[in-house]
Structure 1
Amino acid sequence: MSSLHFSASLPRKENQDASNGSRTATSSTTSVAPDHTQFLAWPYIDGRISSKHATIIAADLVHRIHVELQDGTESAFARLLQSLPLVIENSPALAAALECVLDTQALLSPVPYHQGNIDLKLYGKALRSLRVAFEDPKHRFEKTTLAAMIVMQRIEALGNFHGGSPHLGPSYSAFHVRGIGKMLSCIGPFPPEDDVLFHALANHAFPILLENVANGEKCFLNSPEWTSIFTQRQKASGIERLLYQILVVMVSFPDLLITFRNQDSKLISDPIVEEQAYTTSNRLRIIGRHLDTLLRYPCEGSAMAVSSLRPTCDISTIRNIDLLHVVIMHAIGCIVVNNMLAGMSSSPAEIADFTWRNVCLSKRLWKLQKSAKHVNIYPTALMLSFESAKFQETKDWIVQTMNELQNRTIENGSRLWTEEDLTCRCLMFTGRKEFVLEERVLNPMDSL
């Protein structure tokens, strides 16, 4: 039994010939453009997806993940997918989404952009199946429907929509992030060992936080019931636990920034805000000491001492992908908190100290430009480091790197990042009153 196409070395369905307008089999070295003239047959049995068809998709998924693990390039997305073959059979929405992502070939890779071409027919089927799932009260808040939405978000964030609007992917990707957050809040706190729901939460907690910050909304994750899911997770390595500790700290950021903005606008005066910010800063410093210890081990990464060299001249490497995520996430959290503390301080010496800390964190991020270029949160970190850039050369490098990482070019019709855009976005994360929500110049999720 042949399987769906998921890499250049595997054939597409061989039981469909060119006479009915479907795609033909390919060799290991030949890529055939998809035929968009017809829909592939979608096998339903009594309103459910065919068991045989679901088995084919699940088998492809397992094999693709196995290949990825052998290459040593496991992505966070692949970790989520590892649990899905067991639940795919009764979910047409999930099966359709996975069929689309497997056809797109490279979306399981941690490398963003530039790779997968979306089959618009399979993409349309997946969206339609997801809509049907939402219209059915029995399936609306099932974890398989949530998983289908996550897969669609991945497709739209990283895929290449040939023949369509260049803004289609990022725009719908942002909508799906909001949908993922809404679904998780409706599902409610769950057992930490539920792999599908846990990886859905862990992989999207940060994008959800960004969306809340951008829209001035409180975050549903900022409660003991939700944070305990991270702290009670048993199946986690030491580095993963550090990442979860950072997420537990950062879920308070949307609420803290809202309060800080109101205080900065003289709408309220809450002395507790400063105490909360300092507490958050201290917790991040403790995590930072653990990170500094890990970064001294040759098996994890090279030394990360701060230097005065400009970013294009100073490169460091972290080989462990989980540790790389922790370093970037920790820097993001510290920069945001330091900006808040600097905004609340009236002491020039304290303000200078917080500014210096952010410069050190930013230089650490710049040194990781080669290791981190495939990490989806790295553009956000670069954006926050923009205020620490003292040389015009560094500012130009950040703008250029942001555009390259997100495949923003004049040729594909994308809007390019500018210094003004990055400055405005930095204000969004400081809580300062200069930032006005109505004046956002770009989609809040564009930095992902």
Structure 2
Amino acid sequence: KKKFKTPLTRKQKLKRTFFILLILGIILGGLFAGYTWWNARKVLSGGGSAPALEDCADLSQLNREGDCRINVMLLGKGGGTHEAPDLTDTIIVASIDPVHNEAALVSIPRDLYVQPEGQYGYTKINAVYANAKNAAVSEGKSKKTAEEAGLAAIENTLEDKLEIPIHYYGMIDFKGFEKAIDTVGGVTIDVKTPLIDPSVAWENNWNPVIAQKGVQEFNGKRALLYARSRQSSPRGDFDRSQRQREVIVALKDKVFSAGTYSNPVKISQLIEAFGSHIQTNFSIDEIMKLYGIGKDTQSQNIKSIGLSDPPNDFLTTGMYNGQSVVMPKAGIDDYAAIRKFIRKTLVDPRIRQENASVIVLNGTPSVGLGKSKGDLLKSYGYNVTEVGDAPSKDFNQTVVVDLRDGDKMFTKHYLERRFNTSVTGRLPDGITAPETADFVIILGQNETSH
């Protein structure tokens, strides 16, 4: 006997429809997430590392002051069919303090004349990546290996000149930069001085006016012109570097604004926009940790630093080997003043946080050793409260005394590394220290050879 099914009620139909849509949504959501994850894996393949992303929990990873910051080398190149596609005309070090939610953007002039490690002779720093990459290609290396050689060359050059560790890099070409800004819906720039550049008018519908004074919205194309233009700027590349830092901060504000990072469609579009236009050694997990730090870092807490911006104008221009270049005022290879400025500006956040009181005593006959070492420690952000002479001048090895029994562990660790010694908790005979002191350093004869 044939059985007939009881017709579904309207409530049952709605319920079944709901479950079908729910399952469909889960399937589509999973496919979308998988697609986004797969694209992200191609862009964010990892390879870099920074102890600060793990709260500097492993002291053995901290080799020198500054390792509790996150330093990212940002490079911009023409790419594609652009003339000289591998010249990195934009070079910026983004240094992040995850403890105090602060950051700094340090621009490196593209014409800085340097001698890269492992390369013969001097070259402008914007050619370091291209030269190393091309050399690797000529040796039969793969495209990926050649690009890695180029990135390693410019990273090593920056570490050498600035004496800071570079933990990560990000390199993007013009097309990727333009597409990324369009993907987030443009950026807002407060233009301080009108920008008029006839040399790029052909890229702006034959209009030489790139930007008028005032707050305005830039799409990708206009932002790129604003960041690239230099011919009509009074300080040329130095003014362009300032504008590049402005665009980066504006892009950061837009990316971290509500509705961008929380929107999976926008994330997917950003990743697709980057595609082959960006290279980085961040992993997905590291980017997400950086996002957690970045969203708490306000734009007013991001320093914009140019090495030719008064009163910190350390660079000059001149002719060298028949070409116009940028070099330190102190001399083509003399980066001492620049390094000191960078140390004082990019202080290790853990040293700053502990703010330990440090006394430096000269335990040798070498006159002025205490002051020179005290000044060096100050440049790294140490709170040197007193510099003087020890009662005895016969210390062969430097002694570091910890009067807080390891309570200020980061300062203790860094001082041990710097003076290549283990701290003691006992002051040498004849030496006293005020109750407010946290560390006492008695310099030994071994410091005179450093």
Alignment TM class, shorter chain as reference: under 0.3
The structure with the greater share of residues assigned to helix is 1
Rg larger in structure: 2
Greater RCO (Cα-Cα under 8 Å, separation 6 or more): 2
